[in-house]
Amino acid sequence: MTDRLYLSDPYLVSFTARVVAGSEQGGPPSAVLDRTAFYPEGGGQPADRGTLGGARVVDVQESRGDVVHLLDRQLAPGTEVEGRVDWVRRLDHMQQHHGQHLLSAAFERLHSAPTRSFHLGERTCTIDLDISISKLDDAALRAAESAANESVWRNLPVVARDFFGEERSRLPLRKEPVKGDRVVLVEGVDASPCGGTHPLRTGDVGAIAVLGVQKWGQGASRVEFVCGGRVVRLVAEQGRWLKEAADALKTAPRDLPEAARRIAEESNARRKLSVELERELSRSRAEEMVREAKGSPIVAKVERASFARVLSGAIAERGAIALLGAVEDGRAHLCFARPKGAGPAMNELLKDALSILSGKGGGSPDFAQGSGDPARLDEALAAARAKIASV
């Protein structure tokens, strides 16, 4: 079995080891060492990266008690190699993982919300909590965030080792162990079974920022957060977003909420006015088109899909059948309508037309709509007209 140096010294990033096995015949380049500082993926924490004897370590996995290093080229068994762990990645993962322990402990202590699972992503991290989202308002999130950061800034010692027997039985474990006897302990704050890499003191986490929460499954919630260096990067990133938004709206960043509300209100007012103008135009156009059609179905193409819907309804209200099409956002849109009562079923007519457009849609005998390939819109409208004429 591989001697796992990262368990006793998570800050070790340079080491020497002997290659005891290589990849199986036909498999990707890999190496098993007699000892390693590379952490294999597990427990929600991604694997380390770095170099091994000049080869690039592209992944690290656990297999039957050994740590398998996947490489970009093969190393010969029996050779002595120097390993170098990517410290920036290791520190980031330690900050996120230990920050998760402190945050999970805070949610359980303050809100009786145990953690179901943890995911350490490339950009942000999440914990799934056994609590309804209705109980996690902003005040509850901020309280847990504050408690977790208090544990960080107190710079408490972190103990990560195997505990046995009576000593282990006295630990107030936050969850039952899945395997092994290793426990990560912050006295008076948290005790959790874990095989991941953790700092020697909580202060190395730096800071914890809760970004938000969403419903996740039955009675559960997913909390998104970042720790350490990711907090700094996120503040800078969001600062750029705020500046770009403020520049676009020609306002100061602190005035963005009010500017956004004002623009939203103006936009809603313009949208309502546009809808009303479209309805007035449809009534005028419908009267003109019905008068010119002299009882024949009205087949036409208009500028917008929304106008086709309104206009087809206005035409049907005036006693005529409307077969309208529009091309918008790269799609052909069909709106078929007829006066209420007896007559050809618009949904069946649409079904045949959409088969020409390779599209989808549906509706009722009085009104149906759908969309498809715009290249054959004229053909689809002509086929619908011909089918009505044959009835």
pLDDT in single tens digits along all 391 residues of the chain: 889 999 999 999 999 999 999 886 667 899 999 999 999 998 889 999 999 998 999 999 998 889 999 999 999 999 999 999 999 999 999 999 999 999 999 999 999 999 999 999 999 999 999 999 999 999 999 999 999 999 999 999 999 999 999 998 899 999 887 778 899 999 999 999 999 999 999 999 999 999 999 999 899 999 999 999 999 999 999 999 999 999 998 899 898 889 989 999 999 999 888 888 888 888 888 888 988 888 889 999 998 899 999 999 999 999 999 999 999 999 999 999 999 888 899 999 999 999 999 999 999 999 999 999 999 999 999 999 998 887 6
Return the amino acid letter for 245: A
Q: Cβ neighbours of residue 249 under 8 Å, at least 6 residues apart?
A: 256, 259, 260, 263
How far apart (Å, rounded) are the C-alpha atoms in residues 174 and 105? Answer: 8
DSSP secondary structure code for residue 42 in this structure = B
No. of helices (H) and no. of strands (E), the chain: 9, 20
Contact status, residue 75 vs residue 52, Cβ threshold 8 Å: yes
* Structural domains of the chain, with CATH: 3-85 (2.40.30.130), 91-245 (3.30.980.10), 282-390 (3.10.310.40)
CA-CA distances (angstroms) from residue 90 to 59, 264, 266, 370?
A: 13, 44, 49, 53
Q: Read off the pTM.
A: 0.74
Q: Alpha-carbon distance 159 to 200, whole Å?
A: 7
Cα–Cα distance, 179 to 193 (Å, whole number): 8
Please give the Cα distance from 367 to 370 (Å, whole number).
Answer: 11
